[in-house]
Structure 1
Amino acid sequence: MREALLGVAIFVCLAGASLTSLLIHGRFPPHHRQDDTSAIVRLAANLFVVMTSLVLGLMINSAKNTFEAIDHNLHAYATELILLDRSLRQYGPETQAARQPLIAYVQRVVDATSPSQQSPIVANRLSELLLNNVGDQLSVLTPPDDRHADMLRDARQQLQKVIELRWVLAEQSEGAIPGALIALLVAWLMLIFASFGFRAPCNATVVATFVVSAALVAAALYLIMDMDIPFSGPIQISPAPLERALAELKQ
């Protein structure tokens, strides 16, 4: 929701800058409308075009890296959940009390990744309590022999890995693109769009071009910001690995 509001705000800023420049240019004093002045304005705009292109490239690369890193960690997370459940099953029926909160935990995580949910994945207090309950159940087990002791040690290590990946995903869900960089980029784009309206003819075609261009640029920035936060918006991490893990746990 926040990214969508930012996209709308960016559209208003860009369209407003170009249309305002278009409307007030004719009211400038004559010496401000000379060809030399127009040339300087366009040179300055060209400078910001280059800087904007560089920053946009960095933002796209940062959002792509964040998305791929979270996708990789989510697959590893689902794998560790399956391996933990396999270790508990292999130990014996004594671990049924630990498997029940584990299944309930994975179910809540899958529900949190559905499009209807707004909360970030795994960042839920009740989910954390369910996962901690798995560790509590493992701590009361008494292995009858060395073989079971080894399996219990492996299960505890796998549980610790799940907890680590859970917090990694929770930390990564907030995005990595600084807000100040987005604000600076929007300011540069406003100057560029304002230069478009400098000495431009005031007609419906020009106005429509400015509005459509502002909408497309705002949409591109919105998608970049949305990709940087992969657990919400139209570009989301697929919940398929967690759904497959839940199906394996319920078998």
Structure 2
Amino acid sequence: MNHLVTAAIVFACVLGSGLLGLYLRERLPAHHLSDDSIGVVKLATGLIATMAALVLGLLISSAKSSFDTANGELVQNAATVIQLDRVLAKYGPETQEIRASLKRNYAGAIQILASGDAAQLAKLNSSETINRSEDFERRVDELAPSNDTQRGLKARALQLVDQVSAARWLALLQAKGSIPTPLLIVLVAWLSIIFGTFGLFTLRNGTVVAAMVLCALSTSGAIFLIQEMSTPLSGTVRVSVAPMRDTLARLDE
């Protein structure tokens, strides 16, 4: 489901619960709103609020960690590609075509990542892309070194190719992260209970309604950011491809 749609549903559920609480307050018998009743409900709501705050904090921390990991892998991958290009350049002029192929493949990957489109990102896992990567590795492996220096450079190049491939698969695996649906449902239910309690023990006025709207926006915004950071390669909030563009400009020099 689209992250904006999910955030809109969360906003509607949370704010609707608050408004429902305001509505019920005016229709409940007076003894339901006694000090003893309010005290018990506040204690129960405090427990739910604590659990909701812990879950939100853990989700934000996990999403931020995933985002930072993907960003770090992207930067490391860009540095590895530069190293690979320089190793191939040192090998000799016979790697010129391989270096040109590396630049073309890398430019295509940047174009896909820059789109931020899940359908485009799926191409990175297509059989065509996999075959192209394997063909590149095969061409490096087929190099015929004529001295010890070239043999060392070939071994180093193959090692760097493996590192680039591993980083690519890691990035693709991280691109599909999201909040588990059951956890999201439970979290929204907790938040709805909390907001419903706010409305239940508050007199209805414009200030209260405005405060509920702002709090509901903040809550749904937090859910939106968590989901966006959990999918660092797509969506509105995604990792920057600037390091990759800088690497592309340095290739085949």
Tell me the alpha carbon deviations over residues 154-191 of structure 1, each in whole angstroms, 9 at most, x when there is no partner: 11111111111111111122226433333222111111
Q: Check 1:224–1:235 CA distance in 2 against 1; reply closer, same or farther (3 A cut).
A: same
Amino acid of the structure 1 residue aligned with 2:243: P
Tell me the alpha carbon deviations over residues 203-226 of structure 1, each in whole angstroms, 9 at most, x when there is no partner: 333222222211121112211221
Residue equivalent to 2:124: 123
Residue equivalent to 1:145: 147
The aligned length equals: 251
**2:103–2:251 Cα contact (<8 Å) kept:** yes
Amino acid of the structure 1 residue aligned with 2:12: V
Residue equivalent to 1:157: 159
Helix, strand or coil for the counterpart of 1:153?
Answer: helix
Output the CA distance in 2 between the equivalents of 1:79 and 1:120.
21
Amino acid of the structure 2 residue aligned with 1:225: Q
Helix, strand or coil for the counterpart of 2:236?
Answer: coil
My pick for the range that moved more, 73-82 or 227-236, is 227-236
My pick for the range that moved more, 209-218 or 128-137, is 128-137
**1:121–1:169 Cα contact (<8 Å) kept:** no
Residue equivalent to 2:54: 54
RMSD: 2.2
Determine whether 1:241 maps to 2:243.
yes
Q: Check 1:17–1:215 CA distance in 2 against 1; reply closer, same or farther (3 A cut).
A: same
Residue equivalent to 2:181: 179
Residue equivalent to 1:25: 25
TM value normalised by structure 2: 0.89
Output the CA distance in 2 between the equivalents of 1:150 and 1:216.
56
Output the CA distance in 1 between the equivalents of 2:241 and 2:185.
32
**1:102–1:131 Cα contact (<8 Å) kept:** no
Q: Which runs of 5+ in 1 are unaligned?
A: none
Q: Which runs of 5+ in 2 are unaligned?
A: none
* % identical equivalent positions: 34
Q: CA deviation at 1:10?
A: 0.7
Q: CA deviation at 1:83?
A: 1.0
Output the CA distance in 1 between the equivalents of 2:103 and 2:165.
15
Output the CA distance in 2 between the equivalents of 1:247 and 1:27.
69
**1:110–1:239 Cα contact (<8 Å) kept:** yes
Runs of 4+ in structure 1 deviating by more than 6 angstroms, as ranges, are none
Output the CA distance in 2 between the equivalents of 1:121 and 1:245.
23
Output the CA distance in 2 between the equivalents of 1:120 and 1:41.
48
Q: CA deviation at 1:144?
A: 2.1
